[in-house]
Amino acid sequence: MIRLITDSQRYEAKLEGGLRSHYLFSFADYYDPENMEFGPLRVFNDDYIGPRSGFPSHPHSEMEIVTIVLSGELTHKDNIGNETTVTPGQVQRMTTGTGVTHSETNETDEEIHLLQLWFLPNKRGLAPSYEVMDTGFLKAKDELIPLVTGQKVLEDVAYINSNSTVYYGSVTQGEEVPFRTFKLRRTLIYVLTGSVLVNNVEADEQDQIRLDDQEVVGIKGTADATFILVDVPAVEANY
């Protein structure tokens, strides 16, 4: 099954204080029982943080949180001793486990554009942990670059406690980037820029395609395009 969800079908959050966001799944004040999750992927938010604003300190537990910075500089602080600045091309991974308190803010005069994804973990009761990795993904061309994974076949990638992998993809017009998977897994593609043809279904900027029961996902550029590909099991084991 292949399902196209267009830009206009995303939920536009009503936020204040320099924050703008679209939610791909039920989150905060948006609730749709038919759009709660995608395998273990529970949250996928497309966020903009204005100058001198952000998300103040707040708690989380039992979640794997991935933050992908596309532009701007994000300041992270938490109660387990981490204080970092995450820049474009870097990926932040946080295991909230038994509980962590953190803030994500913009301390500059330039807007930040980031993506935040939350995964249900495959193990509960883990100690909180944190990692930032520079993958240089923004330099990709006609390829998929893994950003985080719980599949140990991939090396030099930030590890999450979920049998899932997040890729950043780039494809030029007329070229194709294939992705091989299994029918027991699911694939979500979110178009950041440009447009693509995914198994003969066209998706434009900010559209998403959700695929089930596929073994090969062909991603062809109908214009120069960048996108996020999320590969997940249909159900996360051991949760």
62 is in an annotated binding site: no
What is the three-class DSSP state of 8? helix
104 is in an annotated binding site: yes
Q: In what order do the strands lie in the sheet with 196-198?
A: 176-180, 216-221, 196-198, 201-203
58 is in an annotated binding site: yes
113 is in an annotated binding site: no
Sequence-ordered list of residues with C-beta below 8 angstroms from that of 148, at least 6 positions apart, any chain: 66, 91, 93, 157, 158, 159, 160, 165, 166
| DSSP string covering 25-75 | S-BTTB--TTSS-BTTEEEEEEEEE-TT-EEEEEEE-S-EEEEEEEES-EE
**Three-state helix/strand/coil letters over 139-193:** HCCCEEEEEEECCCCCCCCEECCCCCEEEEEEECECCEEEEECCCCEEEEEEEEE
Residue pair 73/67 in contact (Cβ under 8 Å)? The answer is no
Residue pair 187/1 in contact (Cβ under 8 Å)? The answer is no
Q: What span, in angstroms and rounded, lies between the C-alpha atoms of 180 and 216?
A: 5
Compute CA distances 95 → 3, 109, 216, whole Å: 30, 29, 31
Known binding positions for Fe cation:
58, 60, 102, 104
Known binding positions:
58, 60, 102, 104
